[in-house]
A and B are shown apart, each in its own frame.
Chain A
Amino acid sequence: AQKVTQAQTEISVVEKEDVTLDCVYETRDTTYYLFWYKQPPSGELVFLIRRNSFDEQNEISGRYSWNFQKSTSSFNFTITASQVVDSAVYFCALSDTANAGGTSYGKLTFGQGTILTVHP
């Protein structure tokens, strides 16, 4: 069975601090996909990144960066120079390549989420 663990329930930082959100996953599959989503107070889940299991390159997008390490089954997310607008709940999710009805699809298993609060 798949599992995603986000050990940090809540993180509180002051603006301009760097913050790293941890994500550890479990799967028996060799092909799988990892995602991060942001859920601001408005409630809508916003897609941030998708990574497949064969691509271990780290990725940077503006102030966001992601560190994928298969050896430790981790996919951590770092926000550099945090801002108040980064305050949200962040979810890490895992999908294998499930098959049904003749097609592959992504059934997401989510972590419990990390509540990030950035204070001015």
Chain B
Amino acid sequence: GAGVSQSPSNKVTEKGKDVELRCDPISGHTALYWYRQSLGQGLEFLIYFQGNSAPDKSGLPSDRFSAERTGGSVSTLTIQRTQQEDSAVYLCASSAKRPGQGINEQFFGPGTRLTVL
């Protein structure tokens, strides 16, 4: 079956513009996560979705960042008024939720490399 897909693979934008990053999780995976990978901060958790709701948004760095998920599938991460410090690789991961199995492994997409000029 298909893995996690993300689009675009690369995005170059100008400071102050809004960007949207898309994630298509593995079919049937109800849990979806966004992470950010940057040279200075390493890999950081941003937000967690269970179905269409986001019970943990604690990693979003500012109110310029938002995310939604529709139909329990595709998720979009939006960054408004981008800043140069937003430049990073944004990774999406999905995970199955099987009762009694604790925390399952997350499968990652290829990421979106965002460059803010």
Contact = CB atoms under 8 A, between A and B. Distances in A.
Contacts, number: 75
Interface stretch (A18-26, A71-79, A95-103): A95-103
Which of B104, B106, B107: most chain A CB closer than 10 A?
B106
Given A44-B109, A103-B97, A50 B91 contact: no
Interface residues of B, number: 28
A88 B48 CA distance: 27
A105 B31 contact: yes
Contacts of B109: 44
A112 interface: yes
Contacts of A31: 102
A6 B59 CA distance: 22
Interface string B35-62: 1000000111100101001011001000
B72 interface: no
Given A44-B111, A50-B104, A97-B102, A105 B56 contact: yes
A59 to B, nearest CB: 14
B50 to A, nearest CB: 5
Contact of A50 (B97, B105, B108): B105
Contacts of B56: 98, 100-101, 105, 107
B2 interface: no
18 contacts: A33-B102, A37-B108, A42-B110, A44-B110, A44-B111, A47-B106, A50-B103, A93-B43, A95-B103, A101-B50, A103-B97, A104-B102, A105-B95, A106-B103, A108-B33, A108-B45, A109-B45, A110-B43
- The list of the 3 closest CB pairs from A to B, nearest first, reads A101-B55, A100-B55, A106-B103
